[in-house]
Amino acid sequence: MKLQIISACLLVSTYSIGANKQNEKWVDNALRTATHQLLYTAKTIHTPNTMPRSSWRRYDIAFLEKQMEADSTAFARELVKQTPTEKVGTLRTCDIYDWTSGFYPGSLWYAYELTQNGKLKTQAERFTTMLNPIRHYTQTHDIGFMINCSYGNALRLTHNDTIKAVIIETADNLCKRFDPRIGCIRSWDFGTWNFPVIIDNMMNLDLLFNASKLTGNNKYRDIAIKHALTTIKHHFRPDFTSFHVVSYNADGSVEKQCTFQGKADNSAWARGQAWGVYGYTACYRETRNNVFLKQAVNIADMIMQRVKTSDNIPYWDYDAPTLPNTPRDVSAAAITASALIELSRLAPTGKKYLDYAQKILRNLSSPQYLAAKGTNNGFILMHSVGSLPNGSEIDTPINYADYYYLEALKRYIDIKK
């Protein structure tokens, strides 16, 4: 079913490039670049139910050993197969059941909202509609990423009963992964863990909050709150860094605390810390429970203290060795910037978070990270890291970096009005 925009008056916020003479030039340039890249990408996707994900890269075992500060035998079992030489540097796509499938449609919606470019709206409709079959998919916890970033943004920008139905149906599917004995939503269905929960799962709670508001049924909200409270208890260390994975026994006791994408079980994986501050900021926005505000503030302060780079774009792990070729993770920076801009509206000491996020955004909008038009396989930002220990998507553009960058720009523009 094709989504249709009924009225531009329904926009939460709008922004026309160049319409506000007080806008910083770097913001205008970023939006022009984003518009060009997103439409460039749309022209390259011709296969049904296909989304742009990243660019193909190869990895070097010696490089990974230095980054992990461990012999390859400690982690080589997890490494993906090497990318064929002919694919290196080309566009990596995914199908609609990939956990990242909602980010490109969401980026199109944000770019349309910010520019009012009708071509972006057309493509946002096209790629969001592709995800309709996800409403019947029950084999992932990432349904929040997939649906809330796509259909959730569409809901803000148009009247369409089908959109609401998709959000509610997928929220119901997410609730089925909740175990009340444990107090969490199960993450993965693979591996040897009994009941794994990853810090990323904090990002799927917005889908439940939205479903609760759409239906008036607090069951979604209650599950989201319980998951967030349980995660505070077991995912975070005294310094407010978080484990990536916590697996629970059937009685709710902790089976294991470890990592799958970070440097070590006790390290602070950069994107994981970003998921945490974003998730708890959103929980406070929805509940006004000061427990969540305190958690968000503590994680934000930890991030600001732990960053080792002068431009605030963190290395892929806050405990990664400081070497000339240690990759930065632009996706972690973009998520953090978006979270901190929102936190700046909510926390008593908000200005410091806005200032920090603004520095991130300015640097992401520089030629060092912002792609030139027509390059980077159509992605907006360069230099993200997906899963370094698994040899996957290292120093490459990734669709979720673009999504949270555009979301951060929207929040920045809104707060500056």
Contact call for residues 289 and 225 (beta carbons, < 8 A): yes
Establish whether 355 is a catalytic residue: no
Buried b (16+ CB within 10 A) or exposed e, 190-211: eeebebbbbbbbbbbbbbbbbb
Type of residue at 328: R
Predicted pLDDT at 12: 35
C-alpha span between 5 and 122 (Å, rounded): 9
C-alpha span between 315 and 96 (Å, rounded): 30
C-alpha span between 176 and 169 (Å, rounded): 11
> Which of the following is catalytic: 71, 98, 161, 200?
200
Cβ neighbors of 289 (< 8 A, separation 6 or more) are 225, 283
Establish whether 98 is a catalytic residue: no
Contact call for residues 100 and 149 (beta carbons, < 8 A): no
C-alpha span between 157 and 178 (Å, rounded): 30
C-alpha span between 403 and 103 (Å, rounded): 6
Contact call for residues 158 and 177 (beta carbons, < 8 A): no
CA distances from 146 to 100, 115, 378, 402 (A): 6, 23, 20, 15
Nearest to 188 by CA among 199, 178, 198: 198
- Say if residue 176 is exposed, middle or buried (CB neighbours under 10 Å; 0-12, 13-18, 19+): exposed
C-alpha span between 77 and 367 (Å, rounded): 37
Predicted pLDDT at 282: 98
> Which of the following is catalytic: 71, 95, 142, 172?
142
Contact call for residues 186 and 197 (beta carbons, < 8 A): yes
Segments of 109-195 assigned E as strands? 178-179, 184-185
Nearest to 204 by CA among 186, 180, 229: 186
* Tokens of residue 262, six digits: 């970070």
Predicted pLDDT at 22: 60
Using DSSP's 3-state secondary structure scheme, residue 319 falls into coil
In which residue ranges of the chain is pLDDT below 50? 1-21
Domain-wise residue ranges, the chain: 1-35+44-49+96-162, 51-95+310-417
Using DSSP's 3-state secondary structure scheme, residue 137 falls into coil
Contact call for residues 97 and 147 (beta carbons, < 8 A): no
* Tokens of residue 417, six digits: 């009005």
Nearest to 232 by CA among 292, 278, 274, 178: 292
The CATH number assigned to the domain with range 51-95+310-417 reads 1.50.10.10
Contact call for residues 333 and 314 (beta carbons, < 8 A): yes
C-alpha span between 148 and 5 (Å, rounded): 18
